[in-house]
Amino acid sequence: MNALVPLPVLLPLCVTGLKLVIGPRLHRFQRFISLAVLGAVLVLSVLLMVAADRHGPLSVHLGDFAPPVGITLVADRLSGLMLTVSSAVTLLVLVYSLGQGMADRDDQAPVGVFHPAYLILVAGVSCTFLAGDLVNLYVGFEIMLVASFVLLTIGGTATRIRAGSTYVIISLFSSVLFLVAIAMTYAVAGTVNFAQLAGRLQEVPIGVRTLLEAMLLTVFAIKAAVFPLAAWLPDSYPTAPAPVTAVFAGLLTKVGVYSMLRTQTLLFPGHRLGDLLMLAALASMAVGILGAVAQTDLKRVLSFTLISHIGYMVFGIGLAGRGSISGAIVYVAHHITVQTTLFLVAGLIERRDGTTELTRLGGLAKSAPLLAVLFFVPAMNLAGIPPLSGFIGKLGLMRAGVDAGGGWAWALVAGSAATSLLTLYVMAKVWNLAFWRDAPPGAEAEGVVLESAEDDEPGDDEDAEGAGTAGAAGGGGASGSGKATGSGSGLPVPAGAVVSAGFLGQSITTTKRLPWPMLAATGAAVALGLSYTVLGGPLTTLTQAAATELLARTPYIEAVLGR
């Protein structure tokens, strides 16, 4: 089974090279290959998770070079679970994006640009989860970030370029800080291999060790969007296409949380910065959920709830007990799935009504009951309504806080309960405005342009239908007044149609009938979130075993270095 460990990284990279050679030709073949590769990665991830649970961590030294020279990849219970959840989510988002791209008749660019970048993103995420040393953890981050730069600015609209610039600057700063931390670690320990560092860092002076811990935590807190290092997220994610926003919000921030889990338990046991982490967790919960309460755009609401719920995971890491680590792992798996699902639903709403601005939505429960169900289930799951998986994760964390005792622990238990209630309030607010109340007068007949590509040509009916619609908006969409007309045709858009952004930012005319692959992928994501409730017993058992393994450290070290 050890030979399977590198494949979740190698398969997407090899297929990306093949896709770049083929170019934008053979659209159906390229779509099939993308689905086949991500399906294979999902199967491999499940096999690795099961093998790691039964037989302990699996490790491989690429090229048969032993540490500290060689590249070490390790799959234990934690990385196996994270790989499985991330593979399932990325596969569903790919199906969603295929449905959106085909419906927009956007064959050329998604195959030529989106698919290679998306597969590279998957490879970077897999490399991060499997990395057995700091350098390859950094490499995984950089592979992931290079792909995310392309995906975030895909379409080249002014709004996306502006948001992407902020994201790039913050990411480059964190990467430089990460490199400095790696260099300092190597200078004091003579290695960057996790298994070797687990022993050698204990011999480093406490002040130096604390400095290294603080630098690495800062890097990972930026990646995970932990307050006060999260200001970049609400302005960056909502501007991207719906599939990109969904996979970014659901997955990329959790890579930072995973890195915190791995380094805090393996490299810095009994860490001195636990109180600081709990303060950051409490601040993330409070600032994030209060920011969500103040928003009127669905994508921005979800972006702020994302920041808030990162606090739950940091809460578990800060307590550093078996119960809290187990609860944090459950919550990471739950949140990857549920947050992705909610952003996919937001994309469906935006496609159907041309906007995610709550003040301009209404009546969706009556006019689109399936869409209402697809939103309601993950919304209640995010709020932690029993017996859903959000409740299971929060209950585990709060029980761990009560068992730990102390001022910070009790403060976080209270903060967790308040944040959960405010999350329920926010989800109820979205439900009442977008689904339950009647549609605002005139909303059905309005034409809306979310974004227009700067190089759209008048008269290009296939790629830029509806470019003459008044009122362009960035990010969450803005209303246009008057009647929409097709590009260059002078004909009005039919009643009930909406002029909205295509997959790459082109203005296209769509009707209120949503493509079935988008609905199917979103429904499967809802079902995946519900499966964590049905499989709550086995999931909790696995996460408790993973927490025990993380805190013991010995199984990981022996798997890499031998007994």
Q: How many CA atoms lie within 13 A of 189 on its CB side?
A: 27
Handedness of CA 114, 118, 121, 127 (dihedral sign): negative
Q: Is 90 exceeded by the pLDDT of residue 42?
A: yes
User: How does pLDDT run across 279-295, given as a tens digit for each residue?
Assistant: 999 999 999 999 999 99
**This prediction's pTM:** 0.85
Share of the chain above pLDDT 70, in %: 83
Cis omega before residue 243 (within 30°)? Answer: no
What is the torsion angle, in degrees rounded to the nearest 10, for the CA atoms of residue 78, residue 84, residue 90 and residue 95?
Answer: -170
Q: Which two tokens stand for residue 368?
A: 């689109």
- Lowest mean pLDDT: which of 43-57, 329-343, 500-514, 545-559? 500-514
User: How does pLDDT run across 499-544, given as a tens digit for each residue?
Assistant: 444 554 444 444 457 788 889 999 999 999 999 999 988 999 999 9
Burial 389-428 (b: 16+ CB within 10 A, else e): bbbbbbbbbbebbeebeeebbeebbebbeebbebbbebbe
Tell me the mean pLDDT in the region 176-200: 92
For residue 527, give every residue at least 6 positions away whose Cβ sits within 8 Å of its Cβ, in sequence order, or none.
Answer: none
Q: What pLDDT, on the 0 to 100 scale, is given for residue 181?
A: 94
Q: What pLDDT, on the 0 to 100 scale, is given for residue 271?
A: 67
Q: What pLDDT, on the 0 to 100 scale, is given for residue 352?
A: 86
Tell me the mean pLDDT in the region 360-388: 90
pLDDT band at 373 (very low <50, low <70, confident <90, very high): very high
Q: How far apart are CA 12 and CA 123, in angstroms?
A: 6
For tokens 């997959």, the residue is 503
Tell me the mean pLDDT in the region 304-325: 91
Burial classification of residue 519, based on how many CB atoms lie within 10 Å of its CB (0-12 exposed, 13-18 middle, 19 or more buried)? middle
For tokens 């689905």, the residue is 35
pLDDT band at 374 (very low <50, low <70, confident <90, very high): very high
Q: What pLDDT, on the 0 to 100 scale, is given for residue 501?
A: 47
User: How does pLDDT run across 70-82, given as a tens digit for each residue?
Assistant: 788 999 999 999 9
Better pLDDT: 355 or 487 = 355
DSSP string for residues in 414-474: HHHHHHHHHHHHHHHHHIIIIIISPPPTTTTT---BS---TTPPTT-TTT-TTTT-S-B-S
Better pLDDT: 464 or 404 = 404
Q: Which two tokens stand for residue 434?
A: 């977008």
Handedness of CA 322, 326, 328, 329 (dihedral sign): positive
Contact 369, 432 (CB under 8 A): no
Better pLDDT: 123 or 112 = 123
Contact 430, 481 (CB under 8 A): no
Q: Is 60 exceeded by the pLDDT of residue 363?
A: yes
Mean pLDDT across the chain? 82
Nearest to 391 by CA among 411, 368, 416: 416
Contact 348, 515 (CB under 8 A): no
Handedness of CA 82, 87, 90, 92 (dihedral sign): negative
Q: What pLDDT, on the 0 to 100 scale, is given for residue 379?
A: 94
Q: What pLDDT, on the 0 to 100 scale, is given for residue 561?
A: 84
Nearest to 342 by CA among 526, 500, 504, 151: 526
Q: Is 60 exceeded by the pLDDT of residue 335?
A: yes
